[in-house]
Amino acid sequence: MTKNFSDDTLVNLQEEYDKTQIQEVIDELQQELIGLKPVKTRIKEIAALLLIDRLRHNVNLVSGSPGLHMSFTGSPGTGKTTVAMKMADILNRLGYIRRGHLMTVTRDDLVGQYIGHTAPKTKEVLKQAMGGVLFIDEAYYLYKPDNERDYGAEAIEILLQVMENQRDDLVVIFAGYKDRMEKFYESNPGLSSRVTNHVDFPDYTAEELLAIAKLMLEEQQYKFAPEADKILLEYAERRMKQPHFANARSIRNAIDRARMRQANRIFISGDKVLTKNDLVTIQSEDILKSRLFTY
């Protein structure tokens, strides 16, 4: 029997919000990710829409189901996968997906190399992703119109069917460079109509990359010597101007190489007795020996 609600039925928004515990996830986003203010704002907006949709459903207000499929655009290393994991958690806590797990795939996981190979590959991935979020990185590689023998279009067709028919049990997030993703959607109107939430991830500034580097070092129980952080900032500014720059990923690689140089510096110094400070400190020279400073 359907319960009737009057127009003055009271709904305690704060109480319902607290029940979902999504504030925990939003706080994690804020604490764990440097910068990305427009992304964090967009995620909060999506969460608010879904919470209100849930409250409307609770008082028997009929409305179309909110579109959950998403597009994350931006350069590599801007946090797209991390935010997708948090989004899966939010969707689970709000009751939109059963399991809340994230499955990350690329074209190779979906597209076969011969006739009859693509459908079972794609369906197996979808089976594993059910109840959660399927994150397709560099999704534009699924579509290769110049190759008549390519099977990406078949994978897209299967995805479209599942996105429409099983949208209550699977959320798909397409990700990649913004310009390529725009062309991808232009060439696939069916996909474009099913993706309602678009989130653009900006590149980090050099100062944000330095803050990320400090967090990475802290997590690994290292620290910068005085002035070394300024050298890392200069490194970031130079690296940003080079090809194949991957934001936080490039900075992580720089930190890993600095740690290697620190270890070699200590080893060849011949010192037999070391302090804890020797073991945890990245010196300016550990960064300056990068090839970037030889140009």
Q: Is 105 helix (H, G, I), strand (E, B) or coil?
A: strand
pLDDT digits (tens, 9 = 90+) for 77-128: 999 999 999 999 999 999 999 999 999 999 999 998 888 899 999 999 999 9
Q: Is 135 helix (H, G, I), strand (E, B) or coil?
A: strand
pLDDT, position 1:
47
pLDDT, position 181:
95
**Please, what are the domains in the chain?**
13-201 (3.40.50.300), 206-294 (1.10.8.60)
Four-point Cα dihedral 28, 32, 36, 37, nearest 10? 50
Burial of 112 (0-12, 13-18, 19+ CB in 10 A): middle
Residue 242 to residue 244: CA distance in whole angstroms? 7
**Is it the case that residue 272 has pLDDT exceeding 50?**
yes
Within 8 A by CB and 6+ apart from 128, the residues are: 103
Of residues 267, 277, 294, 293, the one with CA closest to residue 224: 277
Calculate mean pLDDT across residues 198-226. Answer: 97
pTM for this entry:
0.89
**Is it the case that residue 174 has pLDDT exceeding 80?**
yes
